[in-house]
Amino acid sequence: MRIIEYNDNHVYSYGSAIPVNYLPVSAALTVGSYDGVHRGHRKIIARMVAVAQCRGLRSVVVTFEPHPRRVLKGEVAGPLGLLTTLDEKVELLEGEDVDLLVVVRFTPEFALRSSDDFIRNFLVGCLGAKCIIVGYDHAFGRDRSGSRETLERLGSELEVDIEVVEEVLIGNEHFSSTKIRRLLDCGMIEEANVFLGSPYMITGRVVHGEKLGTRIGFPTVNLMLIDANKLVPHSGVYLAHTVVNGAPYKALMNIGVRPTLSSAGILSIEAHILGYSGDLYGFVIRFTLLKFIREEKEFLNIEELKCQIEKDKKSVELYY
């Protein structure tokens, strides 16, 4: 999958500040924030890829960075509760057989573009859209004024086919990114993973902590989230998985304020990686959460905490 960025009417290679030569190629495309790349999103993307392959077109996903809500509502709205960072989204999309990912740098100026301008000059004029596939509830353009009817009207005028993918149900249950966020807020990680279609990710840079875990015999990596707008699930202890230097490891992740070890009340994300020893400070590590083990609680003393962690480790070792 090739990745390019679109910013201020210029096209760049992903992560580069140097404009690149870009020529429109006839494409089937879909457009959206695609936060979480959940099963509903994947149905739309799979249909787009199938249409592209059938018609000999390039398959294109158009997404936005930062998330439009961050630009439109500003910092006063607080953390957005994103299901995926941009890099996590890229990793998930790489498994969907997409030819090209276009990351639109969403700015206040870009937000002012009308839906007509967005479709006519960007999707068709710049990206070469011959077929646009969207979800049943899709809207775009200034004030989300671009509806299904807008797409169909302009599609007819511009000779672009429009296809709307209907809602995905799991067990006759409607779902959305909002529902997944609610599940994560309740610690229902396994249920959230069903709707996501893959395990929930947490990506962070390893930073120095107080080394309290090392003192009690369970060294941990302390994570600083790559994106402060990432949704942090319900506090508690989770079974997790990670890869370090190409090798897979089971992990025990704690999200919370560590009431037995600290009275500061500061939320932390830390993980004990089973079977690994080494210095990871400064590394960016990605964990996937597989199972909620227990709520965080305050123990009477350190020995009681150590005993519980040993039980938690056994749960991890027996899981798979």
- pLDDT recorded at residue 130: 97
| Least confidently predicted of 4-13, 36-45, 207-216, 285-294 | 207-216
Mean of pLDDT values over 303-316: 88
**Tens digit of each residue's pLDDT (9 = 90 or more) over 90-136:** 999 999 999 999 999 999 988 888 888 889 999 999 999 999 999 87
Higher pLDDT among residues 174 and 107, named by residue: 107
Average pLDDT of the chain to the nearest whole number: 88
The topology (CATH level 3) of 199-319 is Elongation Factor Tu (Ef-tu); domain 3 (2.40.30)
Q: Where in the chain is the domain with CATH 2.40.30.30?
A: 199-319
Around Cβ 261, how many Cβ atoms within 10 Å? Answer: 17
- pLDDT recorded at residue 149: 79
- pLDDT recorded at residue 263: 61
Around Cβ 307, how many Cβ atoms within 10 Å? Answer: 12
Name the pLDDT band for 167 (thresholds 50, 70, 90).
Answer: confident
Mean of pLDDT values over 205-228: 84
- Nearest CA-CA partner of 189 in 84, 267, 293: 293
Instruction: Tell me the whole-structure pTM to 2 decimals.
Output: 0.90
- pLDDT recorded at residue 192: 96
Q: Where in the chain is the domain with CATH 3.40.50.620?
A: 2-170
Mean of pLDDT values over 39-61: 96
Name the pLDDT band for 144 (thresholds 50, 70, 90).
Answer: low
- pLDDT recorded at residue 127: 95
| Least confidently predicted of 21-30, 70-79, 237-246, 309-318 | 70-79
The topology (CATH level 3) of 2-170 is Rossmann fold (3.40.50)
Higher pLDDT among residues 225 and 216, named by residue: 225
